[in-house]
Amino acid sequence: MGTLSRTLLAPVAKIYAREITRRNANFDDGRGVVTLDRPVISIGNLSVGGTGKSPMVAHTIGVLRDDGRNPCIAMRGYGSKKNAHGTSDEADEYAQRFEGLPIVAQPNRTEGLIELFGTEEGEAVDSVVLDDGFQHRRIARQLDIVLIDSTRSPFGDELLPLGRLRESADSLGRAHAVVLTHAESVSSADLNALRSSVLESNRELHIAVAEHAWDGLQIGHRQEPIGLLADKRVTAVCAIGNPEPFVSAVERLSGSLSSMLVLRDHDPYKRGTVGKLVRAAEGCDAIVCTEKDWSKLRHVPTDRWPCPVVRPILRMRLVEGGERLDEMVRSAAKQAPE
């Protein structure tokens, strides 16, 4: 960011910082906080952009279901950033992955959850997973899990709009657990340094470490090994918060990367964008996109594509602290809200 831009944005950053401080002070005093009659587990982050939140939410839903629970997901739904079918990207992604999962996707999550609990479907819900819930403090929670991308440390970063932080790393003081994601992309020394910085913010935090990797490829209803791309000429596209891991994986695993379209996060994939993608893929063996992007592209008629659309099966693996984190999730789901 240039000096002129910083000068212009500095007053805005100060106003934003004051508002965050005021807002957090109110919530710390309990003002405006709503306690639901079901236990709540929040999964969020400190910064804008991707941190691997969706895989962690999916993992948490899996832990709860394996424990005999019937959870629901509550997310903001990104308001106007809905796809052409009136649902959000993440809501579509979760609905595809978890059959029968109740999903509340609207800006007023409190109101949406109360409405859900008043329905026959909602009566069976016994726990809530807040997607992107760390800043959504209006809803009281039994467990606060914060994700930090190991490749983008929040320490030394600045608040919006000068930096990427929604709130400072000092806010980790109210978290219960931190998951350091994308650990496969950093050195052990950098990971340990980040771990130390996190603990300086809150010595009581449980820290888990997660790695993300492609575990296979999905083509329609068919699964294939990732080696399928090794000798293929591909076009790749993504509209996610942190595209670097996806771009790196495509470059590493494909035989020849013909073109790469990196769009803004939550791009709606309007007709013009789809047309551009179709033209870029002419003569290619495959189009590679993320599951999040596919939630919007899957409605495009199959005969429109010049080649198969392939999306990676992404697996998040907790390589450190996973058992303890899962136990914290199970324990939180058994707590009676106070």
pLDDT at 88 (0 to 100): 66
Place of tokens 């996190």: 198
Residue ranges in the chain modelled with pLDDT below 70: 1, 78-89
Percent helix, strand, coil in the chain (nearest 5)? 40, 25, 35
Predicted pLDDT of residue 78: 57
Closest CA to 93 of 119, 121, 61, 125: 61
How distant, in Å, are the alpha carbons of 156, 166, 189, 192 from that of 163?
10, 9, 24, 23
In the chain, the domains with their CATH numbers are 3-212+317-334 (3.40.50.300), 214-315 (3.40.50)
User: What pLDDT is stored for residue 338 in this prediction?
Assistant: 77
pLDDT at 91: 85
pLDDT in tens, 157-192: 999 999 999 999 999 999 999 999 999 999 999 999
Q: Is the peptide bond before 312 cis (omega within 30 degrees of 0)?
A: no
> In the prediction, which pLDDT does 83 show?
47
pLDDT at 87: 58
- Rounded Cα distance, 93 and 75, in Å: 12
Q: Answer whether 318's CB lies under 8 Å from 221's CB.
A: no
152: DSSP letter: S
pLDDT at 80: 36
Contact 178, 150 (CB under 8 A): no
pLDDT given for residue 93 in this prediction = 82
| 3-class DSSP assignment, residue 138 | coil
202 near 175, Cβ under 8 Å? yes
**Which residue in 294, 85, 41, 302 sits closest to 177, CA to CA?**
41
